[in-house]
Structure 1
Amino acid sequence: MAILSAHQRPRIGLVGTGPWAARTHAPALAAHEGIEFAGVWGRRPEAAAELAAASGTRAYEDLDVLLAECDAVAVALPPDVQATVAARAARAGCHLLLDKPLATTVTAAREVAEAADKAGVASVVFCTLRFAPETARWIEEQRAAGGWYVAEARWLGSLYAPGSESPYAASPWRRDKGGLWDVGPHVLSVLLPVLGDVTSLTAARGPEDTHHLVLRHTSGASSTATLTLSAPPAAAGASITLHGAAGRADLPGWNGAAEAYGHAVDALLAAARTGTPHPCDARFGLRLTELLTEAEVRAAAG
């Protein structure tokens, strides 16, 4: 692995200029004292220039120049565009801070994971709950406790409810793939480290983009998950509850994505400096894509 020096202040570039990049990635990178926010590249040069100016950094017109001048890149692009760019960045020797889902096809996700492995670069996939301090601590506590029998997860987003003004509602890939692919990674990123990998999976469609999943895990526990972006606003919310020998445990609330993203940057730097892969790396992102693909196929089959 291309190890970063413990004393090196790495240069991290941002690839992407959409609402998620502007609201989360860029502010967190600009505020992080342990890195140099090297610049922004986007598919729309005018948007890259605007975001770079607002973040106190420079815009790049050529992606390859940005990659050549950075130690790592943060990617804020639609999943299948991300996969192509991430593999390219890995081959250029850049460590990878990626978004979920890694890709919406297993082939594309595997290409990223294999490119990172071959290049010896570290990777982190930003599943918010794995990096928000409140939920990250809870996940580790429940994993250590063990003895869980069943888990119930509900992530009911109202992105597409009447009257929604969310800037993310205009995202073509979210409209196409729905809650299964947008919020499903969040739920799986909690269930897998606590209950173990999935050994069997069934799925069914509900109203609008809703999916219901039933999972068996290597620990012997089972879990259910209901995922949607189309819930009525009054019904919206996210919860994960574990039941087992220790009783009941409920996922705590968290303070939003920007703080969590800063911790994801820390996690990437630690992996790049020690050579120890982070549990939420591109290989884990590939596993999420495999599971979501299987759920999509099984639900479509009825």
Structure 2
Amino acid sequence: MKGGSVRIGLLGTGPWARIAYAPALSGHPELEFTGVWGRRKEAAGELAGEYGIRPYPDVDALLADVDAVAIALPPSVQASLAVRAARAGRHLLLDKPLALTSEDGRGVVEAAEETGVASVVFFTTRFGVETAGWIAEQAVEDGWFTGSAQWLGAVFSGDSPFAASPWRHEKGALWDVGPHALSVLLPVLGDVEQVEAAVHGPGDTVHLVLTHTGGASSTVTLSLTAPAHAAGVSVELRGEAGVTTLPERSDGPVPALARAADALLAAARTGRPHPCDAAFGLRVVEVLEAAETQLRSVLDGE
């Protein structure tokens, strides 16, 4: 894949596909938004009609007509379809979390490696202009002592488009917003060496204590059930360079996803993996899985 427009298909027709993926793919100057497949044929037809593209009743038929796929589906569904697409030789624009088990995530990584396709996982904060720049600046600083991340949402109240999401209700904040927090902390503080503690708070809130290979420790608080007026995101780092905090993003998900598509195109054309590839997505899943195991052991009284 060297030049010219790249044909890309979309798997998924839910709120995130409509809010972010479809507008980002259709507006990208180097992508030819070719078609859409969804688990509900009526929804696929409706979304396809909005963008003047073809609705596909069959995944394999869509894969035969494109060079890459973007997947906006629940993680348990995404993993198997990503493997299927990779084995068909299609580059992968994926969402977080990559999967809900490390076994499923490893399957995606292995399929991508075996076929040589490029992959990018869309961790929103990693592709915001201000936030991506801030992460890159902190990653080259030495001497970080500790970090603190809070990702607090009020997803199940008000008019959130994700209020009825079954997988979010089942898996909670750990799996929905936990990937965002880890996507910021890992490139700066180093890989997670150990999940030292994982405990429950109110609602689906969880608190994590992590140690990192760079020598720093971090604390993470995650929730989808925070009071609306208490919701928000903050990341603070402290070390020899002083104290710094994650800036607010000025752009929405569509420009950020367009930059993720840029990253996928660059990885496909150069053969150089992006830092947010499927392998990084798998590492995030492994950390979340370790935290979930600890949370379960607390509930079981071990």
- TM-score, normalized by length of structure 2? 0.97
Farther-moved stretch of structure 1 (186-195 vs 53-62): 53-62
**1:56 matched residue in structure 2:** 52
Secondary structure of the structure 1 residue equivalent to 2:55? coil
Contact 2:156 2:162 in 1 (8 A): no
Which 4+ stretches in 1 moved above 6 angstroms?
Answer: none
Contact 1:149 1:243 in 2 (8 A): yes
Offset of residue 56 of structure 1: 2.6
Deviations 1:39-64 (A, max 9, x none): 10111111011111112322111110
1:226-237 → structure 2 map (5 Å cutoff): 226-237=221-232
1:85 matched to 2:81? The reply is: yes
Secondary structure of the structure 1 residue equivalent to 2:140? helix
Determine the C-alpha separation between the residues in 1 that align with 2:205 and 2:292.
11
**2:145 matched residue in structure 1:** 149
Offset of residue 146 of structure 1: 2.5
**2:256 matched residue in structure 1:** 260
- AA in 2 matched with 1:39: G
Offset of residue 301 of structure 1: 1.2
**2:14 matched residue in structure 1:** 18
Offset of residue 124 of structure 1: 0.4
1:217 matched to 2:207? The reply is: no
Contact 1:87 1:112 in 2 (8 A): yes
**1:111 matched residue in structure 2:** 107
Contact 1:212 1:225 in 2 (8 A): yes
Contact 1:210 1:226 in 2 (8 A): yes
Secondary structure of the structure 2 residue equivalent to 1:145? coil
Determine the C-alpha separation between the residues in 1 that align with 2:4 and 2:58.
25
Offset of residue 223 of structure 1: 0.4
Determine the C-alpha separation between the residues in 1 that align with 2:199 and 2:70.
34
Gaps of 5+ in 2: none
Farther-moved stretch of structure 1 (110-119 vs 53-62): 53-62
Determine the C-alpha separation between the residues in 1 that align with 2:48 and 2:140.
42
Deviations 1:18-69 (A, max 9, x none): 0000010000001101110011011111101111111232211111011011
Determine the C-alpha separation between the residues in 1 that align with 2:127 and 2:205.
26
- AA in 2 matched with 1:100: K
How many residues end up aligned between the 2 structures?
296
**1:246 matched residue in structure 2:** 241
Determine the C-alpha separation between the residues in 2 that align with 1:55 and 1:100.
25
Determine the C-alpha separation between the residues in 2 that align with 1:17 and 1:119.
27
1:173 matched to 2:167? The reply is: yes
Give the percent of matched residue pairs that are identical in Structure 1 and Structure 2. Answer: 60
The RMSD of aligned alpha carbons is 0.8
1:134-145 → structure 2 map (5 Å cutoff): 134-145=130-141
**1:203 matched residue in structure 2:** 198
Determine the C-alpha separation between the residues in 1 that align with 2:34 and 2:142.
42
Offset of residue 97 of structure 1: 0.3
Contact 1:30 1:56 in 2 (8 A): no
Gaps of 5+ in 1: none
1:158 matched to 2:147? The reply is: no
Determine the C-alpha separation between the residues in 2 that align with 1:57 and 1:31.
13
Determine the C-alpha separation between the residues in 2 that align with 1:220 and 1:177.
30
1:298 matched to 2:294? The reply is: yes
Deviations 1:173-228 (A, max 9, x none): 00000000000000000000001001011211111111101011111000000001
Offset of residue 77 of structure 1: 0.5
Determine the C-alpha separation between the residues in 1 that align with 2:90 and 2:173.
30
Contact 1:205 1:300 in 2 (8 A): no
Determine the C-alpha separation between the residues in 2 that align with 1:23 and 1:146.
38
1:172-191 → structure 2 map (5 Å cutoff): 172-191=166-185
Offset of residue 8 of structure 1: 2.7
Determine the C-alpha separation between the residues in 2 that align with 1:236 and 1:216.
26
Offset of residue 160 of structure 1: 2.1
- AA in 1 matched with 2:162: Y
Determine the C-alpha separation between the residues in 2 that align with 1:211 and 1:56.
43
Offset of residue 100 of structure 1: 0.2
Determine the C-alpha separation between the residues in 2 that align with 1:146 and 1:231.
34
- AA in 2 matched with 1:210: T
Secondary structure of the structure 2 residue equivalent to 1:226? strand
1:14-53 → structure 2 map (5 Å cutoff): 14-53=10-49
